[in-house]
């Protein structure tokens, strides 16, 4: 989240897309209802926030929303594109914000284009874009002047601005009239998304779309604000990144980013998935969102030049780009200690530079190609998670060994003896490593709102070891083997620094200190990433967490909360800076410089984020996402989005693989053609694993699989682990699928009947729930229906043990496609094709 | 310590999360029935000796042709004029110092008259102990000045707990707010029924939708209710009368 849970109470409009917060986050949902009950919130004269739910399914969230619109899954780019077109054409955007706080005024280089569903630079053989035409036109005189000034600064003995990241000042037209300005290109791009086109793609009738657009359009006023809440309903598509980006573009146009009650708010699906992401659970990043080094990068200069954002505007601080090297060197010093010196580029050579993609699906793709020997699973079960669970099980069966670290049996630890499988035919040696449950250990959770909150162990562990102790022990043993037997390039392994009291049993408190980082000259813990250096004198295991554990102690343990709101929340805005700690630097709303106008006055004084205090000459309110004493009236004052090379929010970006503007593409399995460009129906840059791997096609068509399916969670269960919890199994005892009344009638299915749902990849045999909440949609001249597929069941747990089938064919992900987002490769769990029939 | 307490359940804030059901079972150490598939979302199905809170789900078509999904966390109403108390032959059912209705396990003889008499089908018979059981309003928690488990766990404050007078005020204000927003179907249930319930409900549809007897028939034909007594001239045993109400109510259920 750019904002946080408590902040949602400040919204006038709550737009929920691809999320089901009432079911997935019932506790956080209290803030949605608080906004709805608050008469100061809402559009027009208020009377309570308007809650809009856009989803293929009418859920428990829809039940308490003001407006519910059924949308065809995976078409949110068209929905948001329609809203973008509406607010541009009706002139409802926040002009001052768009002009000054976004890159609307930037001029794009000649040669950029979009035609028949393809942006310029497409290479059909590689199925990739050359993004060099998605660049800004350089401002030659400004660049020359800047470089002259830099030389003088360097000659004077000072470090140049934008060190290492590079400077490429772009041409701007502050009138937003230049035909190649981002603003005009954007207007042209989205002019195709008329209400009629939106209806024909999404299935939302024109009239209802316009009703929603009217509400949304009101939040372009400075005294109104909208929050957009989303979850994996937007993420888990082949166009996932762009679905989210399209919503962010709308928020920038309406001036809703950086403001209390606004922002783009991702709801995370586990208690600590935010912490996981921040600490590099994704293969393509290092901790703190530094990019993984790429092949060919010979030294730190290569790495920084190719990874860090460039400075595109004289008023851009380009904080990330400017400090990239410091963050990287401090990370290398954390990992390799004394072995990282200025002589060896701080051991940059020790970090792997993967030549191939190593994302989730790619792991099993490698195993399918028999290029993988073993897998260690911790805190998740690959078999249930999918996608294409049958193919994942084939992949696991190709391994020599599989180690499952879990407190309880999982579908992965049991995959070799699942119902219907022949254990003799599966040669994988499976190790069950009993690990502690989070209840049995201390440590922190980082919630969706970036709050790092410490917890203590509730009960002592019994017969199990912590995951991090298992890994530490394995590491020590591997190291010993290297020492005894040698091996290829052992140096990085031998040089790895483990400054713990017991390197085989590190304490989480020690890890937190390591993540925070130290000043090596004093041995003291740092209180800000602003103090990190690139000369090897500082460490930071994850620079965005520097400041979480200063000399004053572990700030995630703080609990100054609602017991004394006057003292703990002096602004009344619910920041509670003394409650736990949020990254970065305990800031509660990111990009909060954009909550105030150019002079530093809040756009809406009744809901201030930060405010320039002219007397004290400093920013007040939330922890500013800005230099705390930078006078906004200074002509050299930085732009509000300090992390971007532009210094402003990006409506146009060259950092996505699938386009500088979000475009609507159909899911890989879709019942209709893309009405915008039928020749380029799906994303042109999606990676097709089975095809590239020379395997048989596993995608189905509407001829055999006429219904759209989408998978999801229910409030009663937490993924798969709660299949071991009697009270929750009692609330949701059996797997089921939800079927619209019309389909049920056609297929002669009643609630409680056993049905078979099949896709090209597998089948699911569970109970039917017939409902009015899933209805038909008219898209592109065709009526289409969704089948709803809850994910929680498998062949492990109380329900499976009690069932005569023992949970055979209960894995929802047996149906889902082995394909993911063009950028992140996140699987397309939310849109695929199935058929359904009654069993017996 | 003595006070008159009440619940106010605002169904417009209920998200059907069933935290109340789980909290109730955990606190009161109710193991629950063997898992049984109901209709996908409501697998608890009813209030009884194991289920002292039950979240109802009602899917229906709205006047405008859209879909509505009404959810309500149901509970013992702790009626001012309680049918169960009236029929209990051993005086096992008492009114506590909190003005709640409580079955004393040590006095209950398991005759089941109360089960037949309850117009809300709240009470169930526990085979293991041979006793009638239902919501105690967390009597033990009230004695320790704690909020009942269900209200404490409710994440959206759909279930509110407090002094009954306060609950009435809060409910009235919320009703006015909803009516002001044009929700003409919004109504309060529990103000008049059975002499006034200690569990008030804000509904967005007719009580029958939620399996509640309509206000006009929610009266106790007993010596405590002169109008009911005169109106129906009931002279038969109160247990029989209770059963009649029970059947009438069942007939009205969807």
Which residues in A lie closer than 8 A to residue B186 (C-beta atoms)?
A: none
DSSP class per residue in A113-140: -EETTEETTEETTTTEE-GGGSSBPB-H
Output the CA torsion A110→A111→A114→A118 (10° steps).
-150
CA nearest B24 in A: which residue? A727
∠ CA A771-A776-A778, rounded to 5°: 170
- DSSP reduced 3-state for A806: coil
Summarised one tens digit per residue, pLDDT across range A729-775 is: 999 999 999 999 999 999 999 999 999 999 999 999 999 999 999 99
**Res A231 pLDDT > 70:** yes
Same domain, A380 and A245: no
Q: How many CB pairs under 8 A join A and B?
A: 102
User: How distant is the alpha carbon of residue A459 from its chain centre?
Assistant: 33
Considering A229, A249, A272, which residue would you say is the last residue of a domain?
A272
Alpha helices (runs of H) in A104-239, residue ranges in sequence order: 140-155, 182-190, 195-202, 206-217, 232-235
In this prediction, residue B2 has a pLDDT band, given cuts at 50, 70 and 90, of: confident
Q: Find, among A832, A676, A595, the residue nearest to A81 by Cα.
A: A676
In this prediction, residue B235 has a pLDDT band, given cuts at 50, 70 and 90, of: very low
Q: Say what the pLDDT of residue A150 is.
A: 82
Q: Say what the pLDDT of residue A61 is.
A: 98
Dihedral of alpha carbons A640, A643, A646, A651, sign? negative
Q: Find, among B68, B57, B53, the residue nearest to B19 by Cα.
A: B53
Summarised one tens digit per residue, pLDDT across range A11-39 is: 999 999 999 999 999 999 999 999 999 99
Q: Say what the pLDDT of residue A152 is.
A: 82
Same domain, A366 and A268: no
When pLDDT is averaged across residues A414-435 and rounded to a whole number, the result is: 97
What CATH number corresponds to the domain at position A417? 3.40.50.740
Same domain, A827 and A716: yes
Which residues in A lie closer than 8 A to residue B180 (C-beta atoms)?
A: 47
**Res B1 pLDDT > 90:** no
Q: Give the separation between CA A207 and CA A204, rounded to whole angstroms.
A: 8
Q: Say what the pLDDT of residue B247 is.
A: 47
Summarised one tens digit per residue, pLDDT across range A581-618 is: 999 999 999 999 999 999 999 999 999 999 999 999 99
- For residue A579, being part of any structural domain is answered with no
Question: Within 10 Å of residue A476's Cβ, how many Cβ atoms?
Answer: 13
Q: Find, among A822, A661, A678, the residue nearest to A120 by Cα.
A: A661
- For residue A479, being part of any structural domain is answered with yes
When pLDDT is averaged across residues A779-786 and rounded to a whole number, the result is: 95
Decide if A48 and B16 are in contact by the 8 Å CB cutoff: no
Instruction: State how many domains chain A has.
Output: 3
pTM recorded for the entire structure: 0.95
Summarised one tens digit per residue, pLDDT across range B155-178 is: 999 999 999 999 999 999 999 999
Decide if B13 and A731 are in contact by the 8 Å CB cutoff: no
Considering A272, A296, A318, which residue would you say is the last residue of a domain?
A272
| Mean of pLDDT over chain B | 90
Structural domain that includes position A203? 5-109+179-272
When pLDDT is averaged across residues A695-703 and rounded to a whole number, the result is: 97
Summarised one tens digit per residue, pLDDT across range A548-563 is: 999 999 999 999 999 9
**Res A310 pLDDT > 70:** yes
Q: Give the separation between CA A600 and CA A598, rounded to whole angstroms.
A: 5
Q: Say what the pLDDT of residue A731 is.
A: 97
When pLDDT is averaged across residues B13-23 and rounded to a whole number, the result is: 98
Same domain, A724 and A828: yes
Element (H, E) at A835: strand A832-838
Q: Say what the pLDDT of residue B233 is.
A: 45
Decide if A715 and B17 are in contact by the 8 Å CB cutoff: yes
Q: Say what the pLDDT of residue A166 is.
A: 87
**Res B222 pLDDT > 60:** no
Q: Say what the pLDDT of residue A7 is.
A: 98
Q: Find, among B183, B193, B13, the residue nearest to B118 by Cα.
A: B193
Q: State percent of chain A over pLDDT 90.
A: 95
**Res A282 pLDDT > 90:** no
Of residues A33, A48, A752, nearest to B37 (C-beta): A752
In this prediction, residue B251 has a pLDDT band, given cuts at 50, 70 and 90, of: very low
| Mean of pLDDT over chain A | 96
Which residues in B lie closer than 8 A to residue A61 (C-beta atoms)?
A: 15
User: How distant is the alpha carbon of residue A319 from its chain centre?
Assistant: 21
- DSSP reduced 3-state for B172: helix
Q: Say what the pLDDT of residue A151 is.
A: 84
Q: State percent of chain A over pLDDT 70.
A: 99
Q: Give the separation between CA A42 and CA A21, rounded to whole angstroms.
A: 20
Cα distances from A508 to residues A274, A557, A826, in angstroms, run: 17, 13, 29
Cα distances from A735 to residues A752, A829, B34, B37, in angstroms, run: 11, 18, 16, 9
Q: Say what the pLDDT of residue B156 is.
A: 97
Q: Say what the pLDDT of residue A158 is.
A: 65
Q: Give the separation between CA A82 and CA A197, rounded to whole angstroms.
A: 8
Which residues in B lie closer than 8 A to residue A24 (C-beta atoms)?
A: none
Q: How many residues does chain B have?
A: 254
Cα distances from A266 to residues A74, B10, B176, in angstroms, run: 17, 28, 35
Dihedral of alpha carbons A646, A650, A652, A654, sign? positive
**Res A189 pLDDT > 70:** yes
Summarised one tens digit per residue, pLDDT across range A344-382 is: 999 999 999 999 899 999 999 999 999 999 999 998 999
Would you state the structure tokens that stand for residue A653, as one six-digit string?
């970006």
- For residue A229, being part of any structural domain is answered with yes
- For residue A81, being part of any structural domain is answered with yes
Same domain, A686 and A816: yes
When pLDDT is averaged across residues B97-102 and rounded to a whole number, the result is: 98
Which residues in A lie closer than 8 A to residue B19 (C-beta atoms)?
A: 26
What CATH number corresponds to the domain at position A251? 3.40.228.10
When pLDDT is averaged across residues A398-404 and rounded to a whole number, the result is: 98
- For residue A802, being part of any structural domain is answered with yes
Which residues in B lie closer than 8 A to residue A30 (C-beta atoms)?
A: 155-157
What CATH number corresponds to the domain at position B237? 3.30.70.20
Question: From chain B, which residues contact A within 8 Å (Cβ)?
Answer: 12-19, 21-22, 25-26, 31-33, 35-37, 39-41, 43-44, 59-61, 66-71, 155-157, 177, 180-181
When pLDDT is averaged across residues A669-691 and rounded to a whole number, the result is: 96
Would you state the structure tokens that stand for residue A687, as one six-digit string?
């990676």
Which range (A60-69, A253-262, B1-10, B144-153) has the least confidence?
Answer: B1-10
Same domain, A104 and A210: yes
Cα distances from B18 to residues A65, B31, B207, in angstroms, run: 19, 15, 21
Decide if B43 and A732 are in contact by the 8 Å CB cutoff: yes
Structural domain that includes position B77? 5-252
When pLDDT is averaged across residues A43-63 and rounded to a whole number, the result is: 97
Decide if B39 and A769 are in contact by the 8 Å CB cutoff: yes
Decide if B21 and A63 are in contact by the 8 Å CB cutoff: no
Phi, psi angles (nearest 5°) of residue A424: -65, -30
When pLDDT is averaged across residues B9-28 and rounded to a whole number, the result is: 98
When pLDDT is averaged across residues A92-98 and rounded to a whole number, the result is: 98
∠ CA A804-A805-A811, rounded to 5°: 140
When pLDDT is averaged across residues B40-68 and rounded to a whole number, the result is: 95
- For residue A629, being part of any structural domain is answered with no
- For residue A563, being part of any structural domain is answered with no
- For residue A820, being part of any structural domain is answered with yes
Note whether ipTM > 0.90 here. yes
**Res B123 pLDDT > 70:** yes
Element (H, E) at A455: strand A451-455
Q: How far is B87 from chain A (nearest CA, A)?
A: 33
Phi, psi angles (nearest 5°) of residue A538: -135, 155
What CATH number corresponds to the domain at position A755? 2.40.40.20
Q: State percent of chain B over pLDDT 70.
A: 86
- Ranges of beta strands (E only) in chain B are 5-10, 53-61, 67-75, 93-95, 101-103, 124-126, 131-133, 159-163, 187-189, 199-203
Q: Say what the pLDDT of residue B236 is.
A: 44
**Res B228 pLDDT > 70:** no
In this prediction, residue B220 has a pLDDT band, given cuts at 50, 70 and 90, of: confident
CA nearest A768 in B: which residue? B40
Question: From chain A, which residues contact B within 8 Å (Cβ)?
Answer: 22-23, 26-27, 29-30, 33, 37, 39, 47-48, 58, 60-64, 68, 715-716, 726-734, 736, 738, 751-752, 767, 769, 771-773, 775, 798-799, 802
Same domain, A245 and A370: no
Considering A239, A272, A305, which residue would you say is the last residue of a domain?
A272
When pLDDT is averaged across residues B212-236 and rounded to a whole number, the result is: 65
């Amino acid at each position: 989240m750019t904002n946080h849970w408590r902040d949602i109470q400040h919204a006038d409009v709550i737009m929920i897309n691809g999320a089901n917060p009432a079911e997935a986050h019932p506790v956080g949902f209290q803030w949605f209802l608080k906004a709805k009950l608050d008469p100061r919130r809402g559009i027009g004269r208020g009377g309570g926030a308007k809650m809009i739910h856009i989803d293929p399914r009418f859920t428990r969230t829809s039940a308490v929303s003001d407006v519910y619109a059924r949308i065809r899954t995976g078409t949110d780019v068209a929905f948001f594109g329609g809203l973008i077109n509406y607010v541009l054409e009706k002139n409802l955007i926040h002009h001052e914000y768009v002009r000054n706080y976004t890159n609307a005024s930037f001029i794009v280089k000649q040669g950029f284009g979009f035609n028949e569903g393809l942006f310029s630079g497409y290479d059909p053989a590689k199925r990739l874009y050359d993004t060099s035409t998605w660049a800004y036109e350089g401002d030659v005189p400004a660049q020359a002047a800047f470089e002259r000034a830099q030389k003088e600064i360097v000659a004077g003995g000072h470090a140049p601005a934008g060190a290492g990241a590079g400077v490429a000042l772009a041409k701007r037209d502050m009138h937003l009239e230049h035909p190649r300005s981002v603003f005009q290109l954007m207007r042209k791009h989205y002019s195709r998304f008329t209400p009629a086109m939106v209806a024909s793609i999404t299935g939302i009738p024109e009239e209802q779309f316009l009703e929603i657009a009217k509400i949304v359009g009101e939040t372009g006023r400075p005294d109104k604000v909208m929050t957009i809440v989303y979850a994996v309903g937007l993420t888990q598509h082949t166009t996932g990144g762009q679905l989210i980006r399209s919503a962010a573009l709308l928020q920038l146009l309406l001036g809703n980013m950086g403001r209390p009650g606004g922002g783009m708010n991702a709801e995370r699906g586990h208690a600590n998935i935010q912490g996981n992401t921040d600490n590099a659970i994704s293969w393509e990043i290092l901790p703190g969102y530094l990019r993984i080094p790429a092949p060919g990068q010979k030294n730190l200069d290569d790495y920084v030049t190719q990874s860090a954002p460039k400075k595109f505007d004289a008023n851009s601080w380009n904080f990330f780009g400017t400090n990239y090297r410091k963050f990287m060197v401090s990370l290398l010093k954390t990992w390799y200690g004394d072995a990282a010196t200025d002589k060896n580029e701080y051991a940059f050579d020790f970090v792997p530079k993967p030549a191939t993609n190593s994302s989730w699906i790619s792991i099993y793709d490698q195993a399918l190609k028999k290029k993988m020997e073993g897998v260690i699973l911790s805190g998740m079960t690959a078999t249930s998670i999918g996608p294409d669970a049958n193919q994942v099980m084939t992949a696991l069966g190709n391994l020599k060994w599989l180690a499952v670290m879990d407190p309880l049996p999982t579908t992965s630890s049991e995959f070799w003896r699942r119902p219907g499988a022949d254990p003799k035919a599966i040669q994988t040696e499976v190790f069950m490593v009993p690990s502690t449950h989070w209840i049995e250990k201390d440590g922190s959770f980082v919630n969706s709102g970036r709050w790092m909150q410490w917890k203590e162990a509730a009960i002592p562990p019994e017969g199990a070891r912590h995951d991090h102790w298992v890994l530490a022990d394995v590491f020590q043993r591997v190291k010993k083997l290297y020492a005894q037997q040698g091996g290829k390039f052992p140096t990085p392994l031998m040089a790895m620094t483990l400054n713990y009291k017991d390197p085989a049993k590190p304490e989480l408190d020690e890890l937190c200190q390591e993540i925070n980082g130290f000043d090596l000259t004093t041995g003291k813990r740092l209180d800000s990433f602003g103090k990190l250096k690139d000369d090897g004198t500082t460490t930071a295991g994850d620079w965005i967490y520097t400041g979480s554990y200063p000399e004053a102690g572990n700030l995630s343990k703080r609990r100054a909360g609602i017991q004394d709101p006057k003292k703990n929340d002096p602004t009344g805005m619910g920041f509670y800076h003394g409650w736990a700690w949020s990254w970065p630097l305990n800031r509660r709303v990111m990009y909060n410089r954009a909550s105030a106008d150019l002079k530093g006055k809040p756009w809406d004084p009744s809901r201030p984020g930060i405010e320039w205090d002219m007397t004290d000459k400093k920013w007040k309110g939330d922890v500013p996402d800005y230099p705390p004493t930078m006078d906004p009236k200074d002509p050299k004052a930085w732009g509000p989005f300090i992390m971007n090379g532009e210094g402003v929010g990006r409506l146009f970006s060259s950092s996505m693989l699938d386009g500088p503007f979000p475009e609507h593409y159909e899911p890989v399995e879709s019942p209709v053609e893309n009405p915008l460009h039928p020749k380029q129906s799906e994303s042109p840059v999606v990676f097709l694993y089975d095809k590239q791997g020379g395997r048989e096609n596993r995608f189905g068509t509407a001829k055999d699989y006429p219904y759209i399916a989408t998978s999801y969670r229910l409030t009663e269960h937490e993924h798969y682990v709660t299949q071991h919890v009697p009270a929750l199994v009692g609330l949701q005892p059996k797997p089921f699928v939800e079927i619209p009344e019309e389909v049920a009638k056609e297929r002669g299915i009643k609630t409680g009947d056993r049905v078979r749902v099949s896709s090209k990849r597998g089948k699911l045999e569970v109970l039917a729930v017939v409902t009015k909440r899933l209805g038909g949609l008219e898209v592109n001249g065709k009526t289409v229906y969704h089948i709803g597929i809850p994910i929680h069941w498998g062949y492990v747990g109380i329900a499976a043990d009690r069932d005569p089938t023992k949970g055979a064919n209960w894995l929802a992900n047996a149906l889902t496609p082995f394909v993911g987002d063009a950028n992140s490769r996140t699987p397309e769990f939310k849109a695929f094709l199935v058929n359904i029939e009654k069993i017996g | 310590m003595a006070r008159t307490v009440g619940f106010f359940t605002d169904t417009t804030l209920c998200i059907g999360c069933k935290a109340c059901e789980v909290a109730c079972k955990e606190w009161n150490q109710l193991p629950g029935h063997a898992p049984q598939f109901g209709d996908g979302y409501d697998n608890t199905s009813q209030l009884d000796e194991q289920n002292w809170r039950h979240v109802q789900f009602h899917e229906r078509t709205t006047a405008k042709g859209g879909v509505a999904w009404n959810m309500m966390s149901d509970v013992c109403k702790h009626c001012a004029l309680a049918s169960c108390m009236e029929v209990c032959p051993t005086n096992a059912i008492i009114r506590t110092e909190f003005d709640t209705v409580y079955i004393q396990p040590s006095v209950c003889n398991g005759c089941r008259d109360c089960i037949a008499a309850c117009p809300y089908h709240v009470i169930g018979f526990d085979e293991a102990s041979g006793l009638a059981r239902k919501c105690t309003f967390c009597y033990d928690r009230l004695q320790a000045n704690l909020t009942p488990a269900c209200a404490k766990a409710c994440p959206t404050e759909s279930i509110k707990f407090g002094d009954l007078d306060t609950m009435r005020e809060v409910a009235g204000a919320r009703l006015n707010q909803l009516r002001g927003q044009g929700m003409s179907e919004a109504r309060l249930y529990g103000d008049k029924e059975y002499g006034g319930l200690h569990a008030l409900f804000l509904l967005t549809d007719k009580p029958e939708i939620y399996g509640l007897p309509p206000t006009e028939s929610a009266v106790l034909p007993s010596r405590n209710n002169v109008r009911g007594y005169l109106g129906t001239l009931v002279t038969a045993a109160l247990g029989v009368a209770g059963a009649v109400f029970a059947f009438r109510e069942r007939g009205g259920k969807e």
